[in-house]
Amino acid sequence: MMLATDQNPEEHGITPRARQFLALREPVMERWEREVRARVQGAATLLRPILTNTLPAFFDNIGEALSPGHPRRNATSSNNAAAVHGGERARMTSYGPDQVVHEYQILREAITAEASERLDLSAKEWAIIEHSIDAAVREAIREFASIQDDLRRKLAGALSHDMRTPLAVILSGAQLIGLSNDLPANKQFAEKVEANARRLEDMMSELLDALTSKASDQLPLQLSEFDIAELLTDVSKAYARPHEVEFSVMADSTRGWWCRNTLRRALENLINNALTHGAGRKIGLATSQVRGRMMLSVHNDGQAIPKERQNEIFEYGSRGACATAPGWGLGLPFVKRATESHGGSIAVDSSEQTGTTFLIDIPIDCRPFVKNPA
C-alpha cells in the first residue's frame, strides 16, 4: 500500500511510469540513509525511525506528481508533509538549518542515482522531481525557523519576567551601600547582592540549557505493546452504528509500543473532525509501516483545507477551513501534541479532488523517544 499523504491505496491516477518510480522507494531510502549518516553532522547517532521521518510519504507524493492524471502538481502541493519534516527536525534532533538542507540535497542525489540507472524519465518528469525537492526545502526550513523563533520568544519572556526580582535586589542593595556608612549594614547588603547575582547566574545557565535543549512539552504516556489494527477496528465499530457512517478500514497488523489511550483519543478526535467536516460520507482508516515507523491515516471527502491554513489548524483555538463550524478548537492541537509526544508528527493532505487525509507518523517502538513514560 502506498504511503503517500493522500491515502491512495488503489493508486488511482498513477501511471505505469510512476509505479516504476514508486518501486524505487526502498533503494532510494537505503542509499539516502547510508549517505546521510556518513555526511550529515549529527545524523550518525539518530535511530532509524527519527532519521526516516516523513520522507517515504514525500517520495510517494513525487510519484503521484509524475502522473498527469493525478491532481498533485508537485510533492508539496495540497499537504504540509515537508513542513512537518522541518518541525520534527527542530524538535527531535540537534540539527541546524544547513543539515536539513543537506538531507534534501542527498535525497536529490539518491533519486538521481537510482532512477537514472533504472528509468528513462523525461525532462519534464525530472523538472517535477527538482521542483518538488526545492519546494520541500523551503517549507521545511520555514517551519524549522518558526519553531526556533518561538523558542527564542519564550526564552525572552522568561528572561524578562524571572530576572526582575534579583535585578531589583541587586540595584537597591548597590544604592543602599552607596548611601550608608554603616559597615555591618553594608556587609549585609553586599551579601544580598552577591546571593542574587549568583541566582541570576543560575537562571542564565538554566536558560542556556533550555535554549540548546530539544526537549518538548510531552504528554504523560503509559506505553504498552499492542496491535494498531485492533485499535482501528475497535474505534470504527464504536462509531459506525451511533453515527450511521460507513468506515473503510485497511489496517496492516502492526504491533508496537505506544500509549493506547492517547492514540485512541487522537484517533477519535480525527474521526470526530471527519464527521463534522466530511459531509456525512465514508471515512477511511488505514495503517502501514515502513523503516521502523507506523503511519495511520484518517480520510474524509469533505471541504478542502487551504494550503495556507494547514499548519494553523493545529494551533489552539483554530477552527480550520470553516470558522463557524463546531470543532477544530482543541481536537487537532491535542492530536499534534499526542503524536509529538510519541516522537512523531502529523501531516495533512487536502484538496477538492482528493479530499482530506490526516496522517499520523510515529516510530513503531516509541520507548527510546518518550522522555518520562508513566
Single out the residue in 126, 150, 174 at which a domain terminates: 150
Are 74 and 119 members of one domain?
yes
372 torsion bin: left (phi>0), alpha (psi -120 to 50), beta (else): beta
**346 lies in the same domain as 234:** yes
Could you give the number of structural domains in the chain?
3
Q: What is the pLDDT of residue 176?
A: 79
Domain boundary among 100, 119, 150: 150
Helix (H) or strand (E) holding 72: none
Give Cα 55 to chain centroid, integer Å: 12
173 and 61 fall within a common domain: no
Write the DSSP string, 37-84.
HHHSTT-TTS-HHHHHTTHHHHHHHHHHHT-TTSS-SSTTTTB-HHHH
Q: Residues 202, 249: one domain? A: no
Clarify whether residues 193 and 235 are in a common domain.
no
Asked whether residue 143 is domain-assigned, the answer is yes
Task: Answer whether residue 25 is part of any domain.
Answer: yes
CA dist 13 and 270 (Å) reads 26
* Cα 274 from Cα 348, distance rounded (Å): 13
Q: How far is CA 45 from CA 42, 48, 212, 228, in A?
A: 6, 9, 18, 28
Q: Which domain CATH number covers 300?
A: 3.30.565.10
Collect all residues with Cβ–Cβ distance below 8 Å to 29 and sequence separation of at least 6.
52, 55, 56, 59, 110, 291
> Looking at the domain assignment, is residue 11 inside a domain?
no
Phi, psi dihedral angles at 317 (to 5 degrees):
95, -15
- Domain membership flag for residue 10: no
Dihedral of CA 359/361/366/370: which sign?
negative
179 and 302 fall within a common domain: no
Tell me the C-alpha distance between 373 and 261, whole Å.
13
- Together in a domain, 238 and 298: yes
Q: Do 21 and 129 have their domain in common?
A: yes
Whether residue 98 is found in the same domain as residue 230: no
Beta-bridged to residue 223, according to DSSP, are: 259
In this structure, are 232 and 357 located in the same domain?
Answer: yes
Average pLDDT, the chain: 85
Residue 9 covered by a domain: no
Instruction: Quote the CA–CA distance of 70 and 363 in Å, as a whole number.
Output: 29
CA angle, 89 then 94 then 100, to 5°: 45
Question: Of all helices (H) and strands (E), which one includes residue 79?
Answer: none
pLDDT band at 330 (very low <50, low <70, confident <90, very high): low
Mean predicted confidence (pLDDT) in 217-229 = 88
Question: What digits encode the pLDDT tens for the residues 250-283?
Answer: 998 999 999 998 999 899 889 988 988 876 678 9
pLDDT tens across 60-109, in order? 999 999 999 899 999 999 999 999 999 999 888 989 999 999 999 999 99
At 286, is the pLDDT very low, low, confident or very high (cuts 50, 70, 90)?
Answer: very high
Judged against a pLDDT cut of 70, whether residue 289 lies above it is answered with: yes
Q: What is the model's pLDDT at position 325?
A: 44
pLDDT-derived band of residue 131, with 50, 70 and 90 as boundaries? very high
The letter for the amino acid at 274 is A
Domain boundary among 150, 181, 201: 150
Q: Which residues pair with 293 in a beta bridge?
A: 290, 363
pLDDT at 329 over 60: no
**Given pLDDT bands bounded at 50, 70 and 90, which one contains residue 311?**
confident
What would the pLDDT profile of 159-208 be if each residue is shown by its tens digit? 555 566 677 777 777 777 877 788 888 788 788 778 777 767 666 665 55
Beta pairing, strands 355-363 & 293-300: antiparallel
With respect to residue 319, please indicate whether it lies within any of the assigned structural domains: yes
Q: Do residue 327 and residue 202 come from a single domain?
A: no
Residue 170's domain spans which residues? Answer: 163-212
Distance, CA of 7 to CA of 9 (rounded, Å): 6
Contact status, residue 3 vs residue 293, Cβ threshold 8 Å: no
Asked if the structure places residue 98 within a domain, the reply is yes
* The pLDDT of residue 373 is above 80: no
pLDDT of 214 reads 46
Percent above pLDDT 90 for the chain: 55
Rounded CA-CA distance 299/267 in Å is: 11
Residues 36-53 have pLDDT tens digits of 999 999 999 999 999 999
Q: Is residue 256 within 8 Å of residue 365, measured between CB atoms?
A: yes
- Residue 324: band (very low, low, confident or very high) from pLDDT cuts 50, 70, 90: very low
C-alpha cell at 226: 499492542
Q: Does 2 map to a domain?
A: no
The pTM for the full model equals: 0.77
pLDDT of residue 25: 96
> Residues 6 or more apart from 136 whose CB is under 8 A from it?
58, 75, 76, 82, 85, 104
| pLDDT recorded at residue 346 | 95
Claim to verify: residue 206 and residue 242 sit in the same structural domain = no
